[in-house]
Structure 1
Amino acid sequence: MHCGYLSFLHIIIRKVTILFRTGITSLFGIEHPIIQGGLQELGKETLVTAVSNAGALGLLTAGSYENKQEFRTAIRNVRKQTDKPFGANITIGIRQPMDRFVEAVIEEEVPIVFTSGQNPEPYMEKLKRAGIIVTHVVPTVRFAKKAEIIGCDAVVVVGYECGGHPGLDDISSLTLIQRAVQEVSIPVIAAGGFSTGKSLVAALALGAQGIQMGTRFLLAKENPLNEKVKKHLLHLNETDTVIVKRSLQKPMRVMKTNTALQVVAMEGNDCSFEELYPYISGKSYKQLIHNGDIDAGVISLGQTIGLINEIQSVEKIIASVINEAKIQLHTLHKACPII
């Protein structure tokens, strides 16, 4: 009977492995359907290399680098440390012109580019002509459809729970991802609330073909985030985030701090962008992430922080997500057998 159970379990695990080979793993040439989020100032070589070496997709965040040459050097550094696929994340039209970074990924033959922020259409011809796989990050079904029309190969759909920019419609991942899958034919990657194996299974059940994790990788050992901030994050739960910048029509979910709450209060009093800027600027953000000054600025943080209770290596993070997903599928099979 024991041998029969082991045989049965082997069949289940084998089927689970097949389930995790999705359109996204095929498109990017990766082992696991997990993408690292584009973490401003944190999506750098050490983290990216670790994610890719662990079988997921690491993304270098272009906006973390001062100039084109610095970014090209980072790309080369990653390539020296991994022979696995990796990509670049380029946020368009937010902080600085991105033309030179687009040129860098083309010149360095980076195979995969994720774009976010404004419409990537002005860069699509150059990127596609270079044979680059382009994925755009969107907060609505309407923008997902537009991404497909302009030639994107895949789309990341970001729900309300996410850290960073959830868009103006406040629609949760549970509904938004299913709607996007109904409306587009390109692969959908789920983002916003995904940090565990159970959430990976949920994303696949919703019709997505992978997940993007940002908040989970904040607590990776390889993430250059200040250790004081990491330890602070360990004590937070799902209620410890807040939306700022609504008055600027650019809502952003961040860690709930005295500064973040002050920004919310100032917005309620119709303060101008110039008045808000010292609290939401890149300079104050760098003080937070590099110096560990929790109240210096604001940092993107998803509601899924409440599910993260340990600082781990990237390898352990990805292994735990995959193993939990397998266990969860086995549990579901026992509850509702299908073979």
Structure 2
Amino acid sequence: MPRLRTRFTELLGIEHPVVQGGMMWVGRAELAAAVSEAGGLGILTALTQPTPADLAREIERTRKLTEKPFGVNLTILPTITPPPYDEYRRAIVDSGVTIVETAGSSPEPHMEFFDRHGVRLIHKCTSIRHAVKAERLGVAAVSIDGFECAGHPGEDDIPGLVLIPAAAEALTIPFIASGGLCDGRGLAAALVLGADGVNMGTRFLCSTEAPIAGAVKRRIVEASELDTRLIFRELRNTARVARNSVSEEVVRILAAGGTFPDVQPLVAGGRGRRVFEDGDTEAGIWSVGLSQGLIHDVAPAGELVRRIVAEARDTIEGVTELFAGGPPRS
């Protein structure tokens, strides 16, 4: 398949501008390597690994599966007991990884270290103002996350159809789009709207290599775009998760005036991890995006990358034919 070249692929030395989202508990060696081997950019999730030493071992495992570029996600969130971010940073650099995706809080505290070691930073944002700030800080690229996404969409509620072209107008560095994108039509649309590529999480949850229970994958395939819930709205920490008995209970408690301690046992990370490991989709909250309504199968990650790129090409060619006076494709 011919390369799909954009500013983003040229920046990172990859073949196609398709990035596998850095998902907690999911971004492991087999999945990241499969995406990279097919020409996309696979992403390991640093904090999925219990310690920096474990991350170094996971990076080495990935290298044994592919010689192509891959990255590491480092999500920076305020917690009671923060992870040893400096040690995770050091593990990334000492392992020779030169592509890092940051998300959550500002990447500023990490910029100098990564710059000094030649790491190209992609920062994930949910708003134009944060994207502009990230560019000003010196990141190499931005991932702009629309309201349709899984996980934390921010508090502005701006969907990709507006957010992507707004980012194209505001930024001069390469940027990729995420949220609601799962196929070649989405990639084509993102490119036309001004993005340099796409980041897909939910689509790669439904890949053969994703290290989650088959029951979760089947649930995503069977679900529609209506089967998510926005929780923590009242706390100004909105998260999009699967609609189940737990997320419904969280919404009910907070809508009735509850506070975070009232729902904390329901949203514990260990419960969400059990969903992925045991396949009990009612065990806790778990992130999934609106794009699940467009996902109809579980397939190898490499096949998905190739399918997405081929479909994007066909979609763009089909639209071009309309301007040439040809009949619309059925």
Q: TM-score, normalised to structure 1's length?
A: 0.93
Deviations 1:115-149, CA, capped at 9 Å, x for gaps: 00001101100001100000100000000011001
Which of 317, 325, 329 is 1:330 aligned to? 317
Deviations 1:232-274, CA, capped at 9 Å, x for gaps: 1111011111111222221111111111111111110122212
Question: How far apart, CA to CA, are the structure 2 residues paired with 1:94 and 1:201?
Answer: 36
Kept in 2: contact 1:137–1:158 (CA 8 A)? yes
When residues 42 and 94 of structure 1 are mapped into structure 2, their CA distance, relative to the original with a 3 A threshold, is: farther
Residue number in structure 2 paired with 1:289: 276
Amino acid at match of 2:231: V
Amino acid at match of 1:128: D
- Superposition misfits of 4+ residues, deviation over 3 angstroms: none
The question of 1:40 aligning with 2:24 is answered yes
Which of 71, 94, 98 is 1:111 aligned to? 98
Residue number in structure 1 paired with 2:196: 209
The CA deviation at 1:70 is 0.4
Residues 164-183 of structure 1 correspond to what in structure 2 (within 5 A)?
164-183=151-170
The alignment partner of 1:234 has SS state of helix
Which of 231, 245, 254 is 1:267 aligned to? 254
Kept in 2: contact 1:226–1:290 (CA 8 A)? yes
Q: Which structure has greater helix proportion?
A: 1
Which of 172, 177, 197 is 1:190 aligned to? 177
The question of 1:62 aligning with 2:46 is answered yes
Question: How far apart, CA to CA, are the structure 1 residues paired with 2:258 and 2:275?
Answer: 23
Which of 72, 86, 110 is 1:88 aligned to? 72
The question of 1:142 aligning with 2:129 is answered yes
Kept in 2: contact 1:35–1:58 (CA 8 A)? yes
Question: How far apart, CA to CA, are the structure 2 residues paired with 1:82 and 1:94?
Answer: 34
Structure 2: gaps spanning 5 or more residues = 326-330
**How many equivalent pairs are there?**
323
The alignment partner of 2:26 has SS state of coil
Residue number in structure 2 paired with 1:101: 88
Which of 265, 277, 292 is 1:305 aligned to? 292
The question of 1:30 aligning with 2:14 is answered yes
Structure 1: gaps spanning 5 or more residues = 1-12
Kept in 2: contact 1:279–1:296 (CA 8 A)? no
Amino acid at match of 1:148: E
The question of 1:236 aligning with 2:223 is answered yes
The alignment partner of 1:198 has SS state of helix
Question: How far apart, CA to CA, are the structure 2 residues paired with 1:184 and 1:330?
Answer: 27
Which of 146, 149, 152 is 1:159 aligned to? 146
Question: How far apart, CA to CA, are the structure 2 residues paired with 1:248 and 1:286?
Answer: 23
The alignment partner of 2:88 has SS state of helix
Question: How far apart, CA to CA, are the structure 1 residues paired with 2:101 and 2:219?
Answer: 30
Question: How far apart, CA to CA, are the structure 1 residues paired with 2:204 and 2:35?
Answer: 9
The CA deviation at 1:94 is 4.2
Superposition CA RMSD, Å: 1.5
The CA deviation at 1:299 is 1.1
Residue number in structure 2 paired with 1:8: none
The CA deviation at 1:177 is 1.1
Amino acid at match of 1:236: A
Question: How far apart, CA to CA, are the structure 2 residues paired with 1:184 and 1:232?
Answer: 37
Question: How far apart, CA to CA, are the structure 1 residues paired with 2:202 and 2:236?
Answer: 23
